[in-house]
Structure formats: structure tokens, C-alpha cells
Amino acid sequence: MTPHVLTFTGNGEGHCLYTEAIELAAIGRLNIRRATTIEFSETSQQWEVRDAGGALLHSHPSREICLEWEHRHFNQ
């Protein structure tokens, strides 16, 4: 399992892939936005990870593999 990563900008904003493993509300007000969507494509017969603009980032027949990819990708 890829570890959870929480990074901070110079002005104190924190950024991470949301997880309940870290009590994020304890460190301040939350502003949560979806980084991706993971949906099944009837056309490709695979799960597809797409960014907020709709661009395809990754696809695989396994939804679990797509979730793992998303976690690795955003926790670098």
C-alpha cells in the first residue's frame, strides 16, 4: 500500500488525496475537490480514471487497480 502523503505550500495550505486515516479536520477547515472520476466504460469494457477536464489518465479492467493507480499518482 502506498503511504498517505500530506504536503504544505509556503502559505500553509495542505494538499493530499483524501483519506480518513488522517483526521484532516483537526488541522483546519477543509476544502475538498475531486481530482478524478473512476467510472466503467461500456465502450472499452474497462474502468477509466479521468481528470476534472475529462482527459483519460489511466484505464484497467479492475476498479481496484485504478484506485491503486490514483493513490500512487497523487501521493508522489
Q: Which of 17, 18, 66, 70 is nearest to 41 (CA)?
A: 66
In 1-76, where do the E strands start and end?
7-8, 14-15, 36-41, 46-51, 56-60
Domain-embedded: residue 1: no
Residues forming a β-bridge with 16: none
Domain-embedded: residue 40: yes
**Cβ(76)–Cβ(70) below 8 Å:** no
Domain-embedded: residue 2: no
Domain-embedded: residue 19: yes
Q: What is the pLDDT of residue 7?
A: 87
| Whole-number Å distance between alpha carbons of 23 and 69 | 23
| Whole-number Å distance between alpha carbons of 26 and 19 | 13
Domain-embedded: residue 15: yes
Domains identified in the chain, total number: 1
**Residue-range definition of the domain harbouring residue 42:** 7-74
pLDDT tens track for 16-71 = 888 888 888 898 898 888 889 999 999 999 999 999 999 999 999 999 999 999 98
> pLDDT tier at 2 (50, 70, 90 boundaries)?
low
The set of cell numbers assigned to 17 is 488525496
Q: What is the pLDDT of residue 15?
A: 85
